[in-house]
């Protein structure tokens, strides 16, 4: 009997090797751009094949498995940890944002979203609900750490992208 080929493991290796190759040949910015497009297309594929609920479940999966650094900073440093995480992440992407951190809140408004700007500049159709992934991912982490999130959707009248305000849960 023939062995079953593990396509997921093969794809994981190919994707990892692809990202490394792009980084080595074209630099970190090219890796980010490739990530933006892959992420965007993944959302579209999931909705087209399985519906919007599948996209939401995917975002929940990512929020549960891929944001360990953020979760650790939220648990150990609270609002200052959130600031540390987002300043590093947003600087790496060259995002335009406004951030405010207080004793009892963290707030960040994205004014220019690098993935959305990149997709538009390349003539790639942006997944219509692309920005919603921020709400779902970060809500998952915040819930586990005892925080609440208020999400503000992109506002075309001000040309701002999404924003979040995080406060401690009252009953936590």
Tens of pLDDT, residue by residue, the chain (172 residues)? 567 889 889 989 999 999 999 999 999 999 999 999 999 999 999 999 999 999 999 999 999 999 999 999 999 999 999 999 999 999 988 899 999 999 999 999 999 888 988 999 999 999 999 989 999 999 999 999 999 999 998 887 776 788 999 999 887 6
Cα–Cα distance for residue pair 74/116, rounded to 1 Å:
26
The correct CATH number of 8-168 out of 3.40.1400, 3.80.10, 3.30.1380, 3.90.25 is: 3.30.1380
Contact between residue 5 and residue 13 where contact means Cβ atoms under 8 Å apart? no
pTM: 0.86
Nearest 5°: CA angle at 85, between 96 and 138? 85
Domain boundaries, the chain: 8-168
Q: What is the pLDDT of residue 127?
A: 95
Left if phi > 0, otherwise alpha if psi is -120 to 50, otherwise beta: which for 139?
A: alpha
The continuous run of DSSP H or E covering 109 comes out as strand 105-112
Rg over CA atoms, the chain: 18
CA angle 135/33/107 to nearest 5° reads 30
- For helices 132-145 and 52-65, the axis angle rounded to 10 degrees is 40
Query: Token pair of 22, please?
Result: 């792009």
Residue 122 structure tokens? 């390349």
């Amino acid at each position: 009997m023939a062995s079953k080929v593990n396509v997921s493991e093969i794809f994981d290796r190919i994707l990892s090797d692809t990202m490394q190759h792009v980084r080595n040949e074209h630099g970190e910015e090219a890796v980010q751009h490739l990530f933006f497009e892959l992420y965007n297309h993944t959302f579209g594929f999931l909705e087209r094949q399985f519906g919007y609920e599948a996209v939401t479940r995917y975002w929940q999966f990512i929020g549960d498995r891929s944001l360990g650094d953020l979760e650790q900073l939220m648990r150990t440093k609270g609002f200052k940890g959130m600031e540390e995480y987002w300043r590093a992440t947003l600087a790496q992407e060259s995002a335009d944002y406004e951030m405010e951190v207080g004793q009892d809140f963290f707030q960040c408004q994205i004014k220019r979203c690098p993935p959305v700007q990149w997709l538009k500049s390349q003539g790639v159709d942006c997944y219509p609900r692309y920005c919603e992934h921020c709400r779902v991912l970060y809500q998952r982490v915040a819930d586990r750490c005892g925080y609440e999130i208020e999400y503000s959707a992109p506002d075309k009248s001000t040309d701002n992208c999404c924003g979040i305000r995080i406060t401690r849960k009252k009953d936590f």
